Amino acid sequence: MNKDIILNGIHIGEHSPDLEKITDEIRIRAVEPGLNFVTIRPTFADVPQEYFIAWAKYLAENKIYFCFLYTVQFAPKGKDSMLEKDTVSKIKEVAGEYFLGDMIGETGSWAACMASGYFDIRDNKMSDNLRTDYADMKEAHETYIKNVSEFINIDKALGMPEILSVEATGLSKYNAEAGVTMPMLELMCGNPDILVSSLRGMARAYDSKLWGTYIAHEWYGGNRHDDTLKRKRLELAYKYAYLAGSRVFCLESGDELIDSHGYSFAQDSEICEDYRRTLVNMMEYIKNDARPCGGPKAKVAFVSGLHDAWGGWGGASVWNQFHREEWGHNEAENSLNLLYEIGAKRTWADVSNYGSNDLSSSPAYGMYDIVPIEAPVEKLCSYDYLIFLGWNSMTDENMDKLTEYVSRGGNLLMSAAHLNFNTARNGDFIPPSNEKLKKLFGVEFTGNYIRTNDGVKFRFVSQNEQLLFPGSKDFFCDPIYPGGYKDFAELTLCGGIDTAIVSNSFFGENKTCPAVIENKIGSGVATLVASTNYPGHPALLPLYRMIVREMITSSARNCDIKVIASDRLRYAVYEGNKIYLLNTDYDLPITVKIIHKEKELLITLDSLELKGINL
C-alpha cells in the first residue's frame, strides 16, 4: 500500500519584511529543523528579480518544496505581478519539482464574506473589483469566478507550474472552478470539522493534485496568546488536519515571534518555543507514520449547492452584499448550523435515537465530505448518502444528475427549497417540471401551498430499510416536531410514498398533506421533505435534524467498523483499515471501543493523543 507524501513547513513573510534576511530565515526556521515546505510572501515593495531566483536555488538545494504568495494581488503599481516571465522560467530551471507555483490568498474572504473596506490596509487588485449591487446569486457567483480568473490567468501567462490558493472559508470550490489546482485551507478561522470536510470533498470532486492546511494560529487560534488552551488548540489543529487527510501543513507564524492582538513575544519566549515544539513534534510523527494514500473514507456527503456562498467564517451576509437585508444569512445559510452537531452525541432522552448502540456522534468511518453539486455523478456515487442543507439553485441538468445518483444506489435527502430554480434571494418558488419531479421523487406539484403549524407522523417502515424513523405501526400516536408555522408544497403522489404526513390528530392516518416523501429508484431512495422552507427555518429544523441524524447514525450502525466513544473523539479510517483516533478533550483521557469482524478492541487515549492502529 502506497504511503502519502506529506509536506510540512512554515510561512516566510508574516513578520520579516527584510529581503536580505529571508535566506537566513529559511535556514533557521526550515532547513535546520528538517522541514520540507516553505511559503514565501515577499515584501509589498518592488522586489528585485534576483532575490526570487536566489531563494529558489537555496530551497531546491535543501530539497524544500516552495511557492510564493500574493505576488499578483499585491503587485507593484503598473505591474501584473511581482514576478516576471523570465524569472519564473529561471526558477523552474534551478528548482525543478521543488517549485510548486504561485498562491492566491483569501479571495473568498475578500470577495464573498466581507463588507467593502473590511481589509483596508493596502491597495490591492481584489478591492478594485468588489460590488454591492448583484442582481441575484448567479451573477454574484459568475462575477467571483471572473475576478479570481484574472489573477489566475496572469499566473498562467507567467508559466507557473501550478496555481495554489489559501482560503479561510468554505468557498474553495469556486477557486477550483476558476483554475486553482492545489487548494489550502486556513486554520483556525472557522470550525475545522466543517471546513476541512469542505476542502477535502472539493479536492476529491476536482481531482486536486495536492491539498492542505495553512495554520494561521497566531491570528486565529484565539486572541489571548498567554492562554495555555490556545497552545493545546494548535496541537489539535495539526493532529486533526493529519487525521482528516491534509497533505500539506504550513505554520504561518508564531515559531519565530508573535506580534498581534496587542501582544509581543520574542523567539526565545516560552510561547514561541511551544509553537516550535508542536511544529517539530508533528514533523516527527509524519516521518514515523505510514499514512495510506487516498485520504479518509467517507460514505456521507453534504452538498454545497449551486451559487451557495456560505463561507463558514466572516460576516453574516453572502457575496459581500452587506447593505441589502435580503442577502443576510437567513434560513438557507442557517441550515449549515446542523453541521456543528455532527460529532455531538444525542442525549439519553432523545426518543428518536434508535439502535443497539448510540453511534450518533459520527457518520460511517468517522468522516463526512462536503461535495460541490458541480461534481461529476461518478464522484457523487462514491457516497452512500447525499444530504442538502444550504442554498441551492436547481437546474434540469442537476435534477437529472441526482436522479442518476439515486438510480445507482444512492440515498438522497433534500427539502423542496433546494428544488427552486429561482436564483434571486427572495424570489418566488419556481419548481422543476412535473416530469422531473416524478422521475426523482415520484410526485407532481399541484401549484398550491399549505401553511401549517401541525406536527408530523412517520410510518413505521422506511423505503430505506436501514433507517429507523420514530414511527408507530398503527399511526395511533402524537404528531411530533410541530416547531411552528412552515410552508409545504402540495404534492400528488405518483409512485412516491408519504413516509411522514402532516397531522394534528392522535387518531390514525389523519393527514393534512405529505410531509416526507420517499421514492425508491432501483436500490436507491430519494427523500424529499416537502417544505419550501430551508432546513434552517426554526419550524422545520427539528424535523430535518432528526432525518439527518438518523441517516448519519444509520451509516455508522451498518458500517463494518463501529466506533463507540465520547463525542470528544474524532476518528478516520483509511484504506487497509488503518484507523486514526484523536482525543480532542483538553483535560481528560477517553476510552474507545472498536468493533470489527465480531471482535472488540478497547483503547484508552490520553488528552490530545493521536493514535494510528492497523485493524
Distance CA 250, CA 36 (A): 10
Q: Is 88 helix (H, G, I), strand (E, B) or coil?
A: helix
With cut-offs at 50, 70 and 90, classify the pLDDT of residue 359. Answer: confident
Tell me if 388 sits within 8 A of 416, measured CB to CB.
no
Which residue type is seen at 5? I
Q: Single out the residue of 40, 35, 36, 65 nearest to residue 52, CA to CA.
A: 40
C-alpha separations of 385 from 44, 379, 433, 524, 548 in Å: 47, 12, 24, 10, 10
Cell of 239: 493532529
Cell of 182: 492545489
- Give 190-250 as a DSSP string: S-HHHHHHHHHHHHHHTT-S--EEEE-HHHHS-S-TT-HHHHHHHHHHHHHHHHTT--EEE
pLDDT, residue 350, reads 85
Please report, for the chain, the start and end positions of each structural domain, with discontinuous segments joined by +.
7-288, 300-557, 561-614
Omega of the bond leading into 188 within 30 degrees of 0 (cis): yes
Quick: pLDDT tens for 6-26.
999 999 999 877 888 899 999
For the residues 504-532, what does the mean pLDDT come to? Answer: 94
> How many residues would you count in the chain?
615
pLDDT, residue 589, reads 98
Quick: pLDDT tens for 481-498.
998 999 999 999 999 999
With cut-offs at 50, 70 and 90, classify the pLDDT of residue 131. Answer: confident
Tell me if 101 sits within 8 A of 164, measured CB to CB.
yes
Query: How large is the angle between the packed helices 85-95 and 137-158, nearest 10 degrees?
Result: 70
Tell me if 399 sits within 8 A of 432, measured CB to CB.
yes
With cut-offs at 50, 70 and 90, classify the pLDDT of residue 124. Answer: low
Q: Is 147 left (phi over 0), alpha (psi -120 to 50) or beta?
A: alpha
Distance CA 527, CA 62 (A): 55
Cα angle value 566/572/578 (rounded, 5°):
120
Tell me if 460 sits within 8 A of 472, measured CB to CB.
yes
Query: How large is the angle between the packed helices 192-205 and 228-243, nearest 10 degrees?
Result: 30
With cut-offs at 50, 70 and 90, classify the pLDDT of residue 59. Answer: very high
% of the chain with per-residue pLDDT over 70: 97
Distance CA 599, CA 492 (A): 48
For the residues 524-539, what does the mean pLDDT come to? Answer: 97
With cut-offs at 50, 70 and 90, classify the pLDDT of residue 120. Answer: low
Measure the N-to-C terminal CA separation of the chain; round to a whole number of Å. Answer: 15
Tell me if 458 sits within 8 A of 516, measured CB to CB.
yes
C-alpha separations of 451 from 57, 373, 432, 455, 496 in Å: 68, 29, 21, 12, 22
% of the chain with per-residue pLDDT over 90: 85
Tell me which CATH code domain 300-557 carries: 3.40.50
Tell me if 489 sits within 8 A of 471, measured CB to CB.
no
Distance CA 441, CA 444 (A): 9
With cut-offs at 50, 70 and 90, classify the pLDDT of residue 305. Answer: very high
pLDDT, residue 441, reads 98
Tell me if 56 sits within 8 A of 27, measured CB to CB.
no
- Give 457-468 as a DSSP string: EE-SS-SSTT--
Residue 405: CB partners within 8 Å, gap ≥ 6?
Answer: 377, 380, 381, 386, 412, 524
For the residues 74-97, what does the mean pLDDT come to? Answer: 95
With cut-offs at 50, 70 and 90, classify the pLDDT of residue 4. Answer: confident
Distance CA 477, CA 507 (A): 7
DSSP 327: G
Residue 514 forms beta bridges with which residues? 501
Cell of 23: 535566506
Which stretches of 391-454 are assigned E, i.e. beta strand?
Answer: 411-415, 443-452
Rg (CA), the chain: 25
For the residues 253-260, what does the mean pLDDT come to? Answer: 94
Cell of 278: 508542536
With cut-offs at 50, 70 and 90, classify the pLDDT of residue 125. Answer: low
pLDDT, residue 1, reads 58
Tell me which CATH code domain 7-288 carries: 3.20.20.80
Q: Is 452 helix (H, G, I), strand (E, B) or coil?
A: strand
Distance CA 353, CA 435 (A): 36
How many Å separate Cα 326 from the centre of its chain?
25
Residue 611: CB partners within 8 Å, gap ≥ 6?
Answer: 580, 581, 582, 603, 605
Q: Single out the residue of 170, 116, 126 nearest to residue 152, CA to CA.
A: 126
